[in-house]
Amino acid sequence: MRADSFCISCLVQKQELRIREFEDEEKKTSFMREVLELIHDNPDLSAPSMIRVIAPVYERYWGPPKDMEQEKREFNEFLLDMEEELERAIRQERDPLMAALNYARTGNYIDLTTVKDVSKEGLLKLFEQQEQNPLDEREYHHFLTDLSSAKRLVYLTDNCGEIVLDKIAIRILKERYPDLDILVLVRGVPVVNDADLTAAREVGLDRLVPVMGNGSKIAGTDLEDVSAQAREAMEQADVIISKGQGNFETLHGCGLNIYYLFLCKCGWFIRRFGSKMLEGMFLNERRI
């Protein structure tokens, strides 16, 4: 999905905000001019793909961005401490798979680059409220129908912490569909607070199903940027579950059988889907 005027405006504002506290005004102006040139020269890129293009320019001017390893580990540990309790609650629901996917979607709140003031208390409050925003039943029926004949499923993760909830959903998927071949794709390298191989191993996801880095530095899944192995896995999958806005932005329009699972966390998504802030979506690529 190419960045439109709304996304471009947001990209520019976020880059200015990153450098606002720096003192060298001439250097800041020069940096912002380069950002604008890059946006102009790459009209077909999605917003996450554009951020990947801007990243080396930022480092050239200002050095490496803030490391988020501490925050990533903190949310992984927080959800791991709750894992047994959450899974017990999920399994008590009428449809544990639907409940697990809803919890996994709610965990998409843990986005340190898009959601202001992310907190553990905020996540717990969303857990309490999520029954008010269940998965779309018609789309869920399509999902179950696809799974009934599927042989391969690829699960695209998004943020740290959130992947503990993905782990519960995958465990239930494995139980309900024991012959289903499930592969998890995480980011190829550390990107903001997104889950990578290190994070997946920390929460034990790799001991449940095969986990592979997608070979990309983008906070999303751009088929033109991921490794040949990751792209092949996605193209051969019967069903893909895609978590998060970044994955939607980079994949929408590809035509694969993707079920998008995310919270609306910015103005574009709220306008596009007529939703409220932090409202959950469950959408299929071919029926949007």
Does the pLDDT of residue 4 top 90, yes or no?
no
Cα–Cα dist 288/281, whole Å: 11
Mean of pLDDT values over 205-234: 97
Strand order in 258-263's β-sheet? 211-213, 181-186, 152-156, 239-243, 258-263, 280-284
Q: Residue 83 contacts by C-beta under 8 Å, 6 or more apart in sequence? A: 164, 167, 168
How many residues appear in the chain? 288
Q: What's the confidence (pLDDT) of residue 51?
A: 87
Q: How do the domains of the chain map onto residue ranges? A: 5-62, 69-284
Does the domain spanning 69-284 belong to CATH 3.90.950.10?
no
Cα–Cα dist 24/50, whole Å: 25
pLDDT confidence bin for 65, thresholds 50/70/90: confident
CA quadruple 227, 233, 239, 241: dihedral positive or negative?
Answer: negative
Mean of pLDDT values over 95-115: 96
Q: What's the confidence (pLDDT) of residue 10?
A: 86
More confident residue, 66 or 24: 24
Q: How many CB atoms lie within 10 A of CB 117?
A: 7
Give me the residues paired with residue 283 across strands: 260
Computed over every residue of the chain, the mean pLDDT equals 95
pLDDT confidence bin for 90, thresholds 50/70/90: very high
